Copies of this chain bind each other. A is one copy, B any other.
Protein backbone atom coordinates (compact mmCIF):
# COMPACT_ATOMS: atom_id res chain seq x y z
CA UNK A 1 0.00 0.00 0.00
CA UNK A 2 1.41 3.39 -1.01
CA UNK A 3 1.33 6.17 1.58
CA UNK A 4 1.47 9.94 1.87
CA UNK A 5 4.72 9.94 3.87
CA UNK A 6 8.01 11.72 3.45
CA UNK A 7 10.45 9.86 5.64
CA UNK A 8 9.08 6.83 7.52
CA UNK A 9 11.32 7.76 10.45
CA UNK A 10 9.76 11.21 10.73
CA UNK A 11 6.02 10.46 10.56
CA UNK A 12 5.41 11.16 14.26
CA UNK A 13 7.14 14.56 14.22
CA UNK A 14 5.51 15.65 10.97
CA UNK A 15 2.07 14.48 12.04
CA UNK A 16 2.35 16.35 15.34
CA UNK A 17 3.57 19.50 13.58
CA UNK A 18 0.69 19.30 11.10
CA UNK A 19 -1.79 18.75 13.91
CA UNK A 20 -0.55 21.75 15.87
CA UNK A 21 -0.62 23.96 12.76
CA UNK A 22 -4.23 22.95 12.11
CA UNK A 23 -5.23 23.82 15.70
CA UNK A 24 -3.21 26.96 16.41
CA UNK A 25 -5.43 28.16 19.24
CA UNK A 26 -5.98 24.83 20.98
CA UNK A 27 -2.67 23.33 22.04
CA UNK A 28 0.59 24.60 23.54
CA UNK A 29 4.01 23.03 23.43
CA UNK A 30 5.69 22.37 26.79
CA UNK A 31 9.13 21.82 28.27
CA UNK A 32 9.27 18.45 26.51
CA UNK A 33 8.76 18.16 22.72
CA UNK A 34 6.46 15.17 23.16
CA UNK A 35 4.24 16.60 25.91
CA UNK A 36 1.36 18.93 25.00
CA UNK A 37 -1.19 20.91 26.97
CA UNK A 38 -4.44 22.77 26.34
CA UNK A 39 -3.67 26.40 25.62
CA UNK A 40 -6.58 27.76 27.64
CA UNK A 41 -6.10 25.55 30.68
CA UNK A 42 -6.56 27.71 33.75
CA UNK A 43 -3.88 26.51 36.18
CA UNK A 44 -5.52 28.37 39.05
CA UNK A 45 -8.92 26.76 38.45
CA UNK A 46 -8.51 24.10 41.14
CA UNK A 47 -9.93 21.49 38.79
CA UNK A 48 -8.47 18.02 38.41
CA UNK A 49 -6.06 17.69 35.49
CA UNK A 50 -6.79 14.90 33.01
CA UNK A 51 -3.84 13.27 31.24
CA UNK A 52 -3.34 10.38 28.90
CA UNK A 53 -0.66 9.23 26.56
CA UNK A 54 0.75 6.33 24.66
CA UNK A 55 2.29 5.38 21.36
CA UNK A 56 1.46 7.12 18.10
CA UNK A 57 -0.60 5.37 15.43
CA UNK A 58 -3.91 5.40 17.28
CA UNK A 59 -5.27 8.75 16.06
CA UNK A 60 -7.37 10.50 17.34
CA UNK A 61 -5.65 8.97 20.40
CA UNK A 62 -3.84 10.66 21.87
CA UNK A 63 -3.22 14.18 20.56
CA UNK A 64 -6.75 14.42 19.08
CA UNK A 65 -8.37 14.12 22.50
CA UNK A 66 -6.55 17.18 23.75
CA UNK A 67 -9.67 19.36 23.73
CA UNK A 68 -12.11 20.78 26.25
CA UNK A 69 -14.10 18.06 28.01
CA UNK A 70 -11.47 15.39 27.31
CA UNK A 71 -7.73 15.60 28.07
CA UNK A 72 -5.85 18.60 29.46
CA UNK A 73 -2.40 17.26 28.60
CA UNK A 74 -1.03 14.35 26.60
CA UNK A 75 2.24 12.41 26.40
CA UNK A 76 3.11 11.17 22.92
CA UNK A 77 5.36 8.21 22.15
CA UNK A 78 6.84 6.84 18.95
CA UNK A 79 4.78 4.50 16.78
CA UNK A 80 3.22 1.90 19.10
CA UNK A 81 5.74 2.80 21.85
CA UNK A 82 5.00 4.17 25.30
CA UNK A 83 6.29 7.69 25.94
CA UNK A 84 9.19 7.73 28.43
CA UNK A 85 8.45 8.60 32.07
CA UNK A 86 9.76 12.16 31.69
CA UNK A 87 7.15 12.87 28.99
CA UNK A 88 4.31 11.71 31.24
CA UNK A 89 5.86 13.68 34.09
CA UNK A 90 5.90 16.86 32.02
CA UNK A 91 2.26 16.24 31.05
CA UNK A 92 1.38 15.83 34.75
CA UNK A 93 3.12 19.09 35.63
CA UNK A 94 1.35 20.90 32.81
CA UNK A 95 -2.11 19.53 33.68
CA UNK A 96 -1.88 20.18 37.41
CA UNK A 97 -4.28 22.95 38.43
CA UNK A 98 -3.90 22.36 42.15
CA UNK A 99 -6.32 19.45 42.59
CA UNK A 100 -4.17 16.58 41.39
CA UNK A 101 -4.00 14.71 38.11
CA UNK A 102 -5.76 11.66 36.79
CA UNK A 103 -3.79 9.67 34.24
CA UNK A 104 -5.58 7.17 32.01
CA UNK A 105 -3.45 4.72 30.07
CA UNK A 106 -3.61 1.34 28.36
CA UNK A 107 -2.44 -1.77 30.17
CA UNK A 108 0.85 -2.46 28.40
CA UNK A 109 4.10 -3.29 30.16
CA UNK A 110 6.15 -0.25 29.19
CA UNK A 111 3.23 2.17 29.61
CA UNK A 112 2.69 0.77 33.11
CA UNK A 113 6.34 1.25 34.02
CA UNK A 114 6.55 4.76 32.59
CA UNK A 115 3.39 6.17 34.20
CA UNK A 116 4.36 4.71 37.59
CA UNK A 117 7.82 6.20 37.38
CA UNK A 118 6.31 9.52 36.28
CA UNK A 119 3.83 9.47 39.17
CA UNK A 120 6.76 9.06 41.58
CA UNK A 121 8.51 12.03 39.99
CA UNK A 122 5.31 14.05 40.37
CA UNK A 123 4.92 13.03 44.02
CA UNK A 124 8.33 14.57 44.71
CA UNK A 125 6.86 17.86 43.47
CA UNK A 126 3.73 17.33 45.58
CA UNK A 127 1.52 16.60 42.60
CA UNK A 128 -0.82 13.77 43.42
CA UNK A 129 -1.47 11.47 40.46
CA UNK A 130 -4.15 8.78 40.30
CA UNK A 131 -3.43 6.11 37.69
CA UNK A 132 -6.30 4.51 35.79
CA UNK A 133 -5.24 1.45 33.86
CA UNK A 134 -7.64 0.61 31.01
CA UNK A 135 -7.83 -3.16 30.51
CA UNK A 136 -11.08 -3.64 28.64
CA UNK A 137 -9.87 -6.21 26.07
CA UNK A 138 -11.60 -9.42 27.11
CA UNK A 139 -9.66 -11.44 24.53
CA UNK A 140 -6.85 -11.31 27.10
CA UNK A 141 -8.87 -11.90 30.27
CA UNK A 142 -7.79 -14.86 32.37
CA UNK A 143 -10.10 -17.84 32.77
CA UNK A 144 -11.21 -16.82 36.25
CA UNK A 145 -12.16 -13.37 34.98
CA UNK A 146 -9.06 -11.63 36.32
CA UNK A 147 -8.05 -8.65 34.16
CA UNK A 148 -4.64 -7.87 35.67
CA UNK A 149 -2.99 -8.77 32.38
CA UNK A 150 -5.77 -7.67 30.02
CA UNK A 151 -4.85 -5.18 27.31
CA UNK A 152 -6.48 -1.81 26.90
CA UNK A 153 -8.58 -1.32 23.79
CA UNK A 154 -10.78 1.55 22.53
CA UNK A 155 -12.73 1.67 25.81
CA UNK A 156 -10.01 3.98 27.07
CA UNK A 157 -11.68 6.76 25.04
CA UNK A 158 -14.84 6.51 27.16
CA UNK A 159 -12.62 7.07 30.21
CA UNK A 160 -11.15 10.22 28.63
CA UNK A 161 -14.66 11.59 28.26
CA UNK A 162 -15.84 10.52 31.71
CA UNK A 163 -12.80 12.02 33.42
CA UNK A 164 -12.81 15.14 31.25
CA UNK A 165 -16.48 15.86 31.87
CA UNK A 166 -16.30 15.06 35.57
CA UNK A 167 -13.24 17.30 35.99
CA UNK A 168 -14.97 20.13 34.13
CA UNK A 169 -17.90 19.77 36.54
CA UNK A 170 -15.59 20.17 39.53
CA UNK A 171 -15.46 16.59 40.80
CA UNK A 172 -12.56 15.73 43.08
CA UNK A 173 -9.64 13.48 42.16
CA UNK A 174 -11.02 10.68 44.32
CA UNK A 175 -14.47 10.97 42.80
CA UNK A 176 -13.10 10.95 39.24
CA UNK A 177 -10.84 7.99 39.98
CA UNK A 178 -13.83 6.08 41.35
CA UNK A 179 -15.92 6.92 38.26
CA UNK A 180 -13.13 5.82 35.90
CA UNK A 181 -12.48 2.58 37.78
CA UNK A 182 -16.19 1.77 37.79
CA UNK A 183 -16.46 2.54 34.06
CA UNK A 184 -13.36 0.45 33.31
CA UNK A 185 -14.72 -2.51 35.29
CA UNK A 186 -17.98 -2.20 33.35
CA UNK A 187 -16.31 -2.25 29.93
CA UNK A 188 -15.73 -5.28 27.72
CA UNK A 189 -14.10 -4.98 24.29
CA UNK A 190 -13.16 -7.28 21.41
CA UNK A 191 -11.15 -6.45 18.30
CA UNK A 192 -11.34 -8.17 14.93
CA UNK A 193 -8.94 -7.69 12.01
CA UNK A 194 -9.32 -8.53 8.33
CA UNK A 195 -5.87 -7.21 7.40
CA UNK A 196 -2.76 -6.15 9.32
CA UNK A 197 -1.28 -2.69 9.66
CA UNK A 198 2.12 -1.56 8.43
CA UNK A 199 4.50 0.25 10.80
CA UNK A 200 6.05 3.02 8.65
CA UNK A 201 9.61 2.32 9.72
CA UNK A 202 9.23 -1.40 9.06
CA UNK A 203 7.35 -1.13 5.77
CA UNK A 204 5.74 -4.57 5.84
CA UNK A 205 2.69 -5.82 7.77
CA UNK A 206 3.60 -6.47 11.40
CA UNK A 207 1.61 -9.70 11.51
CA UNK A 208 -0.25 -11.80 9.01
CA UNK A 209 -3.95 -12.24 8.40
CA UNK A 210 -4.18 -14.89 5.71
CA UNK A 211 -6.64 -13.92 2.98
CA UNK A 212 -9.93 -15.70 3.57
CA UNK A 213 -9.40 -15.61 7.34
CA UNK A 214 -9.87 -13.06 10.08
CA UNK A 215 -8.15 -12.61 13.45
CA UNK A 216 -10.60 -12.57 16.37
CA UNK A 217 -9.53 -10.86 19.58
CA UNK A 218 -6.81 -8.78 17.93
CA UNK A 219 -4.97 -6.12 19.97
CA UNK A 220 -4.32 -2.54 18.97
CA UNK A 221 -0.77 -3.25 17.90
CA UNK A 222 -1.53 -6.34 15.90
CA UNK A 223 -0.83 -8.58 18.87
CA UNK A 224 -2.88 -11.71 18.22
CA UNK A 225 -5.95 -12.64 20.16
CA UNK A 226 -8.20 -15.61 20.70
CA UNK A 227 -8.12 -17.34 17.34
CA UNK A 228 -7.96 -16.98 13.58
CA UNK A 229 -10.95 -18.29 11.66
CA UNK A 230 -12.51 -18.32 8.22
CA UNK A 231 -13.74 -14.81 7.39
CA UNK A 232 -17.38 -14.36 8.37
CA UNK A 233 -19.99 -11.97 7.05
CA UNK A 234 -20.47 -8.70 8.93
CA UNK A 235 -23.50 -10.10 10.75
CA UNK A 236 -21.72 -13.32 11.71
CA UNK A 237 -18.75 -11.28 12.90
CA UNK A 238 -21.01 -9.09 15.03
CA UNK A 239 -22.63 -12.25 16.42
CA UNK A 240 -19.25 -13.73 17.39
CA UNK A 241 -18.11 -10.48 19.01
CA UNK A 242 -21.33 -9.97 20.93
CA UNK A 243 -21.45 -13.60 22.09
CA UNK A 244 -18.03 -13.07 23.65
CA UNK A 245 -18.84 -9.68 25.15
CA UNK A 246 -22.24 -10.69 26.50
CA UNK A 247 -20.96 -13.98 27.95
CA UNK A 248 -21.11 -12.61 31.50
CA UNK A 249 -24.41 -10.75 31.07
CA UNK A 250 -27.31 -12.16 33.02
CA UNK A 251 -30.41 -11.83 30.86
CA UNK A 252 -32.68 -11.95 33.90
CA UNK A 253 -31.23 -8.60 35.00
CA UNK A 254 -31.83 -5.20 33.45
CA UNK A 255 -28.82 -3.91 31.53
CA UNK A 256 -28.18 -0.51 30.01
CA UNK A 257 -25.06 -0.02 27.90
CA UNK A 258 -23.00 2.49 25.94
CA UNK A 259 -21.66 1.02 22.68
CA UNK A 260 -18.44 2.13 21.00
CA UNK A 261 -17.65 0.73 17.54
CA UNK A 262 -14.24 1.96 16.47
CA UNK A 263 -12.60 1.51 13.10
CA UNK A 264 -8.90 0.64 13.23
CA UNK A 265 -7.75 2.94 10.43
CA UNK A 266 -8.59 1.56 6.99
CA UNK A 267 -12.12 0.42 7.81
CA UNK A 268 -14.83 2.47 6.10
CA UNK A 269 -17.71 4.02 8.02
CA UNK A 270 -20.05 2.01 5.82
CA UNK A 271 -18.64 -1.19 7.30
CA UNK A 272 -18.88 0.16 10.85
CA UNK A 273 -22.55 1.03 10.42
CA UNK A 274 -23.30 -2.34 8.80
CA UNK A 275 -21.75 -3.99 11.88
CA UNK A 276 -23.66 -1.69 14.22
CA UNK A 277 -26.89 -2.48 12.41
CA UNK A 278 -26.53 -6.07 13.67
CA UNK A 279 -25.18 -5.11 17.10
CA UNK A 280 -28.26 -2.95 17.74
CA UNK A 281 -30.51 -5.87 16.79
CA UNK A 282 -28.61 -8.23 19.11
CA UNK A 283 -28.98 -5.81 22.02
CA UNK A 284 -32.69 -5.39 21.40
CA UNK A 285 -33.10 -9.16 21.11
CA UNK A 286 -31.43 -9.60 24.50
CA UNK A 287 -33.53 -6.88 26.11
CA UNK A 288 -30.48 -4.66 26.70
CA UNK A 289 -31.08 -0.91 26.50
CA UNK A 290 -28.60 1.08 24.43
CA UNK A 291 -28.13 4.48 26.07
CA UNK A 292 -25.76 5.73 23.36
CA UNK A 293 -23.86 4.43 20.35
CA UNK A 294 -20.63 5.96 19.09
CA UNK A 295 -19.47 4.76 15.69
CA UNK A 296 -16.28 6.00 14.01
CA UNK A 297 -12.51 6.09 14.20
CA UNK A 298 -12.08 6.63 17.94
CA UNK A 299 -8.92 4.58 18.53
CA UNK A 300 -7.14 3.31 15.44
CA UNK A 301 -4.21 1.05 14.76
CA UNK A 302 -2.40 2.79 11.88
CA UNK A 303 -4.02 1.43 8.70
CA UNK A 304 -5.35 -1.83 10.10
CA UNK A 305 -8.53 -3.11 8.40
CA UNK A 306 -10.37 -4.00 11.56
CA UNK A 307 -12.84 -2.95 14.20
CA UNK A 308 -13.16 -2.96 17.95
CA UNK A 309 -16.47 -3.18 19.76
CA UNK A 310 -16.77 -1.95 23.34
CA UNK A 311 -19.78 -2.32 25.61
CA UNK A 312 -19.89 -0.38 28.84
CA UNK A 313 -22.62 -1.10 31.33
CA UNK A 314 -23.79 2.28 32.39
CA UNK A 315 -25.74 4.05 35.10
CA UNK A 316 -27.24 7.53 35.26
CA UNK A 317 -24.02 9.09 36.46
CA UNK A 318 -21.72 7.52 33.85
CA UNK A 319 -24.30 8.06 31.13
CA UNK A 320 -24.58 11.74 31.93
CA UNK A 321 -20.83 12.13 31.52
CA UNK A 322 -20.42 10.19 28.27
CA UNK A 323 -23.55 10.97 26.32
CA UNK A 324 -22.35 14.03 24.41
CA UNK A 325 -19.13 12.39 23.24
CA UNK A 326 -18.09 13.22 19.68
Contact = CB atoms under 8 A, between A and B. Distances in A.
Interface string A180-210: 0000000000000011000000000000010
B297 A4 contact: no
Interface string A215-254: 0000000000000000101110100000000000000000
Interface in A55-85: 56-57, 59-60, 64
A33 to B, nearest CB: 15
A268 interface: yes
Given A4-B275, A21-B276, 4 more contacts: A2-B305, A14-B274, A22-B293, A59-B270
A267 B4 contact: yes
Interface string A12-56: 001111110110000000000000000000000000000000001
Contact of A274 (B5, B212, B307): B5
Interface residues of A, number: 56
A62 to B, nearest CB: 12
A277 B21 contact: yes
Chain A interface mostly: mixed
A269 B4 contact: no
A144 interface: no
A303 interface: yes
A302 interface: yes
B273 A18 contact: yes
A295 B280 CA distance: 30
Contact of A270 (B278, B302, B305): B302
Contact of A214 (B2, B22, B265, B266): B2
Contacts of A19: 273
Given A21-B280, A293-B22, A194 B2 contact: yes
A11 B274 contact: yes
Given A1-B195, A3-B194, A233-B6, A11 B270 contact: yes
A211 interface: yes
7 contacts: A2-B231, A5-B274, A14-B234, A18-B275, A18-B280, A22-B295, A268-B303
